[in-house]
Amino acid sequence: MRRAIELARQGVRERIGGPFGAVVVRDGRVIGEACNCVTSSNDPTAHAEVEAIRAACRASGTFDLSGCTIYSSCEPCPMCLAAICWARIGAIFHAGTRHDAAAAGFDDAAIYAEVMRPVAERAIPIRQLMREEALAAFREWQTDAGRVPY
């Protein structure tokens, strides 16, 4: 956790991004770490947890981080939580809370509220197009004997 907090502070001091850091650990060894680099990379998905997961996957040569733990300087936002789930990380430890982040200007409340709304009532319009054509990709996936499930 100390390293995650150190990364968060380093990111602020070096103006890399917001005040967030994360470390992915497997078997007591750090396999990925990062600070938030949204502003320096012009990438809104470059949150510390996502960047640490990317680094851990590169280092491990796999997208499956089962058995890993992530330490984050703050409670993961909804996007980061989803990435942690997709990576199959087994445990999350965090220091600050989402309320601490909100008090510093990083408020995820609107995202949590948006996810809970019915699709037709969401702030960003969501419309479905060409479903039948898109299903062809799923059918190809399901019949591909060489596919890599994830």
Catalytic residue numbers, as ranges:
49
The answer to whether 54 and 62 are in contact (CB under 8 A) is: no
Is beta strand 21-26 parallel, antiparallel or unpaired with respect to 68-74? antiparallel
Structure tokens at 115: 């996810």
Structure tokens at 69: 């733990």
Residue with tokens 């396999």: 31
The answer to whether 7 and 34 are in contact (CB under 8 A) is: yes
Residue 141, C-beta contacts closer than 8 angstroms, at least 6 positions apart:
147
Q: How many CB atoms within 10 Å of residue 115?
A: 9
The answer to whether 22 and 48 are in contact (CB under 8 A) is: yes
